[in-house]
Chain A
Amino acid sequence: MSLATYGWLVLLLPLAGSLVIAFTSQVLPSRLHGWIGTGAIALSFVAAVGALFALEELGEEERQVVSVAWDYARTVGVDAQLSILLDPLSIFMCLVVSGVSALIHLYATSYMASDHGYTRFFAYLNFFVFSMLLLVLAGNFVILIVGWAFVGAASYLLISFWYRRTTATRAGIKAFVINVVGDVGLVLGTFFIFKHTNSLDLLTAFGRVEEAFPTRNDGDLVAGCLLLLVGAFAKSAQVPLHTWLPDAMEGPTPVSALIHAATMVTAGVYLVARMHPFFEQAPAAADVGAILGATTLVVAATIALVVTDLKRVIAYSTMSQIGYMIMAVCSAAYAAGLFHLMTHAFFKALLFMAAGSVIAAMAGEQNLDRMGGFRRAMPFTFACMAIGGLALSGFPLFSGFFSKDEIIAYVIAREGWFVILGVLGFAGSLLTAIYTWRMIFRAFFGEPVEQARELEGGHLHHAAEHTNPATGEVEDTDVGFPGPDHHIAEREWSMKAAMGALAVLATVGGVLQIPKVTEVLHHFLEPTFAESRYYEELEPSGGLTVVGLVLGALLAIAGIALAYRLWVTDSERSAVAGLRARLAALHAFLVHKWYFDELIDVVVVRPFAAFGRFARDVFERAIVNGLFVGGPSGAVRAGSAAVRAAQSGFLRYYAALLLLGVCALGLYFLISAS
């Protein structure tokens, strides 16, 4: 089969899976739907591997294939087509997305087994994978925007999957609204670029960058790139459009693993990498992106230090790691950013899966304050969590070690003020190690809690009544709420298989790109970035690489050691309490998440709400209702009242009027004739 055929198969299999699940929901037994969904994504992954091999057969110069299914509009100046672009970048993204998704589907077949919305869940999940693949395969701005919006919609559906939980539906709406802000940014940015390049086709537009924007930092191009960044930041949860991601943890854990860790939130990274010809011609916009990415990585890491919700710790960690990737791709370290995207997908999905297993053992409870001592009760989950944690904190030889330090080395190699960003990156890796291991030590070490002891005795804890972990509201287990039973990795082979596979990948994923030794990914992605002015030139020196790796390793070990001292050795946790008391103001600042929610509330939400109220009370009532609607209708009403008064119903009155009228006419003609 040709490369294009494989590409279309990658895209169509998840769509087919979603449709089959949706239309047979009443016909087939619901257990089967989980396997249909998993199978569709697994086949999609197989097709992506096929596409990889087909691509490898082509020469270096030919590795950018566009396949067009049909034209939407082909008129003066508009070339909107349903086209997919198959190049190393899109196939790399397809492999990551479909591969990790297949494992998460496998995990979800057990994890969601007792949920009453099982079939719906898999239909949504497959639809999400389809949207994400559409986004990464798009060969045309129009298709990119469609995929972008589909992904946002799928994310909304899955965050508010438990639709009877008010906290979940609110979180879904918040995520959707912020994502729509990003959609608008993407569309407007596309217009800015389309205005000058006159092509919606990605490759054609890239080819015309030089002639359309002859000077660097052309005003329109910078504006367009900044708007693209708005889109990327909303999707990738970067400051200041990040507040939806922690709330999105209201969704089921497989959703957090799939959408809010491994795939959807990396779309912004993909977008910047894909649009690199524009960003390189508009370095001002790229610099803004790099600075905001570095800001996010520090802000999110500091918040993660104090969050007590298990899933939210990982969510803030995701924000922080995506900050690294955004910083990398905006600093033209494309291969490094995408490498971190891949390793992050492995270890972050793994961490979420392990967290899901712990939450299941706690019967839905997510608060770290109530957890502890699960190490002996859940050895497999603990091992997975530890591997994920080591990879995340950049412990030597784990995958995150290579990818994160490569980003920092490349950013520093840009020299000038980029060095500051690199230093922030190092600060971030220390914080990463601390918050990751704070979470792991608090959940798995220390005195076993009641649930852990119960599990050691061979019995999975069941709550007396089901409650919302965020608010404590009492819930039932019918559709729209989580199901009655929980499933832990120790007892489900499919969860174990998925987590095991990811644990292996998170451990050894780094070998793809060991600095100065193997550069598989760098060479593989080269055709996509052939025109880039930095891709080949930008290369950290050997000394810098070594210093970076050593410093990264030291910071990771120091962070883990510090966390061990604070939360394990010091079993009373008096040092932590002392720190908290001494830095009460800082602690409150971090607990309130740097007051971003409050800031957005004051700056955006309240003015808009006030404006809305003003419009409703004054504009809508007085002007629209009173003048535009009331004016003509009042005139018609008055006129018809006058005419109606003439219709008295007296026959003789009509006759008299008729006679008078005829007489008047006769008189008129008589007078005018004489």
Chain B
Amino acid sequence: MSVEWYLVVSALVFSIGASGILVKRNPLVILLCLELMLNAGTLALVAFARAHGNQEGQIFALIVMVVAACEVAVGLGLIVAIYRRRLPIDVDELRELQG
């Protein structure tokens, strides 16, 4: 299988994630969509690594997973904190950074 197919899948998954972030208002779903985007990136990296026949891309994929895990930990923590303060779990309502 040529690398293009992997890249098409990766692009599809990335687009699904990005559109999910743009349309969804629940932070939990937004986090899930973020994971989709990250995994799309990981998939592309792995595909390139295989096409080139070396290991760098795979190492990058591992690093991206670690970063993703951290990000999820922080994001979930934020969501729990929002919930504990009885704020709405809705990113459109949480707009205190308005200038």
What residues of chain A have their CB less than 8 Å away from a CB belonging to chain B? 643-652, 655-656, 659
Distance between Cα atoms of A659 and B18 in the complex (Å)? 8
Closest Cβ of chain B: how far from A641's Cβ, in Å?
9
Distance between Cα atoms of A427 and B97 in the complex (Å)? 90
**A648–B22 CB distance below 8 A:** no
Distance between Cα atoms of A656 and B97 in the complex (Å)? 17
Other-chain contact of B98, A643, A648, A655, A656 (Cβ < 8 Å): A648
**B99–A643 CB distance below 8 A:** yes
B81 contacts the other chain (CB 8 A): no
Distance between Cα atoms of A644 and B98 in the complex (Å)? 8
Beyond A649-B95, A649-B98, A652-B92, 5 extra complex contacts between A and B, CB < 8 Å: A644-B99, A649-B96, A650-B95, A651-B94, A651-B95
* B46-88 residues at the A interface, CB under 8 angstroms: none
Other-chain contact of B99, A647, A655, A656, A659 (Cβ < 8 Å): A647
Closest Cβ of chain B: how far from A623's Cβ, in Å?
33
**B91–A651 CB distance below 8 A:** yes
Distance between Cα atoms of A643 and B97 in the complex (Å)? 13
Interface of B is mostly: loop
Q: B18: which A residues are within 8 A, CB to CB?
A: 659
Other-chain contact of A652, B21, B97, B98, B99 (Cβ < 8 Å): B21
Q: A659: which B residues are within 8 A, CB to CB?
A: 18, 22
Distance between Cα atoms of A649 and B94 in the complex (Å)? 8
Between A and B, 14 residue pairs with Cβ closer than 8 Å are A643-B99, A646-B99, A647-B98, A647-B99, A648-B95, A648-B98, A648-B99, A649-B95, A649-B96, A649-B99, A652-B91, A652-B92, A656-B22, A659-B22
Distance between Cα atoms of A651 and B79 in the complex (Å)? 14
What total of chain B residues lie within 8 Å of the partner, measured CB to CB? 14
Distance between Cα atoms of A655 and B91 in the complex (Å)? 12
Q: A655: which B residues are within 8 A, CB to CB?
A: 21-22
**B97–A647 CB distance below 8 A:** yes
**B21–A645 CB distance below 8 A:** no
Q: A656: which B residues are within 8 A, CB to CB?
A: 22
Query: Which residue from chain A places its CB closest to the CB of B99 in the assembled complex?
Result: A647
List the 8 shortest-distance A-B pairs measured between CB atoms, nearest first.
A647-B99, A649-B95, A649-B98, A644-B99, A651-B91, A649-B97, A655-B21, A656-B22
What residues of chain B have their CB less than 8 Å away from a CB belonging to chain A? 18, 21-23, 25, 30, 91-92, 94-99
Query: Which residue from chain A places its CB closest to the CB of B18 in the assembled complex?
Result: A659
Distance between Cα atoms of A644 and B99 in the complex (Å)? 5
Distance between Cα atoms of A645 and B21 in the complex (Å)? 22
Closest Cβ of chain A: how far from B41's Cβ, in Å?
12
Distance between Cα atoms of A650 and B94 in the complex (Å)? 8
Distance between Cα atoms of A52 and B36 in the complex (Å)? 104
Q: B95: which A residues are within 8 A, CB to CB?
A: 648-651
**A652–B94 CB distance below 8 A:** no
Q: B92: which A residues are within 8 A, CB to CB?
A: 650-652
Closest Cβ of chain B: how far from A492's Cβ, in Å?
79
Query: Which residue from chain B places its CB closest to the CB of A648 in the assembled complex?
Result: B98
Query: Which residue from chain B places its CB closest to the CB of A655 in the assembled complex?
Result: B21
**A645–B99 CB distance below 8 A:** yes
Q: B98: which A residues are within 8 A, CB to CB?
A: 647-649
Q: B21: which A residues are within 8 A, CB to CB?
A: 652, 655
Closest Cβ of chain B: how far from A647's Cβ, in Å?
3
Closest Cβ of chain A: how far from B32's Cβ, in Å?
14
Distance between Cα atoms of A645 and B99 in the complex (Å)? 7
Query: Which residue from chain A places its CB closest to the CB of B19 in the assembled complex?
Result: A659
Closest Cβ of chain A: how far from B75's Cβ, in Å?
12
Q: B23: which A residues are within 8 A, CB to CB?
A: 652
Query: Which residue from chain B places its CB closest to the CB of A656 in the assembled complex?
Result: B22
Closest Cβ of chain A: how far from B94's Cβ, in Å?
7
Distance between Cα atoms of A644 and B97 in the complex (Å)? 11
Query: Which residue from chain B places its CB closest to the CB of A640 in the assembled complex?
Result: B99
Closest Cβ of chain A: how far from B34's Cβ, in Å?
10
Q: B94: which A residues are within 8 A, CB to CB?
A: 651
Q: A647: which B residues are within 8 A, CB to CB?
A: 97-99
Query: Which residue from chain B places its CB closest to the CB of A662 in the assembled complex?
Result: B18
Closest Cβ of chain A: how far from B63's Cβ, in Å?
20
Closest Cβ of chain B: how far from A299's Cβ, in Å?
73
**A652–B96 CB distance below 8 A:** no
Q: A645: which B residues are within 8 A, CB to CB?
A: 99
Query: Which residue from chain B places its CB closest to the CB of A644 in the assembled complex?
Result: B99
Q: B25: which A residues are within 8 A, CB to CB?
A: 652
Distance between Cα atoms of A659 and B92 in the complex (Å)? 18
Which of the listed residues B21, B23, B25 has the most CB atoms from chain A within 10 Å of its own CB? Answer: B21
Closest Cβ of chain A: how far from B18's Cβ, in Å?
6
Distance between Cα atoms of A645 and B98 in the complex (Å)? 9
Query: Which residue from chain B places its CB closest to the CB of A654 in the assembled complex?
Result: B97
Q: A644: which B residues are within 8 A, CB to CB?
A: 99
Which of the listed residues B23, B94, B95 has the most CB atoms from chain A within 10 Å of its own CB? Answer: B95
Distance between Cα atoms of A656 and B95 in the complex (Å)? 16
Query: Which residue from chain A places its CB closest to the CB of B91 in the assembled complex?
Result: A651
Closest Cβ of chain B: how far from A670's Cβ, in Å?
14
Q: A651: which B residues are within 8 A, CB to CB?
A: 30, 91-92, 94-95
Closest Cβ of chain B: how far from A89's Cβ, in Å?
76
Q: A649: which B residues are within 8 A, CB to CB?
A: 95-99
Distance between Cα atoms of A647 and B99 in the complex (Å)? 5
Closest Cβ of chain A: how far from B12's Cβ, in Å?
16
Closest Cβ of chain A: how far from B92's Cβ, in Å?
6
Query: Which residue from chain A places its CB closest to the CB of B21 in the assembled complex?
Result: A655
Closest Cβ of chain B: how far from A274's Cβ, in Å?
70
Closest Cβ of chain A: how far from B42's Cβ, in Å?
17
Closest Cβ of chain A: how far from B85's Cβ, in Å?
17
Distance between Cα atoms of A655 and B99 in the complex (Å)? 17
Query: Which residue from chain B places its CB closest to the CB of A647 in the assembled complex?
Result: B99
Closest Cβ of chain B: how far from A642's Cβ, in Å?
10
Distance between Cα atoms of A245 and B97 in the complex (Å)? 69
Distance between Cα atoms of A104 and B33 in the complex (Å)? 97
Which of the listed residues A651, A655, A659 has the most CB atoms from chain B within 10 Å of its own CB? Answer: A651
Closest Cβ of chain B: how far from A226's Cβ, in Å?
65
Query: Which residue from chain A places its CB closest to the CB of B30 in the assembled complex?
Result: A651
Closest Cβ of chain B: how far from A163's Cβ, in Å?
54
Closest Cβ of chain A: how far from B66's Cβ, in Å?
22
Q: A646: which B residues are within 8 A, CB to CB?
A: 99
Q: B96: which A residues are within 8 A, CB to CB?
A: 649
Q: B30: which A residues are within 8 A, CB to CB?
A: 651
Q: B91: which A residues are within 8 A, CB to CB?
A: 650-652
Query: Which residue from chain A places its CB closest to the CB of B25 in the assembled complex?
Result: A652
Distance between Cα atoms of A649 and B90 in the complex (Å)? 13
Query: Which residue from chain A places its CB closest to the CB of B37 in the assembled complex?
Result: A659
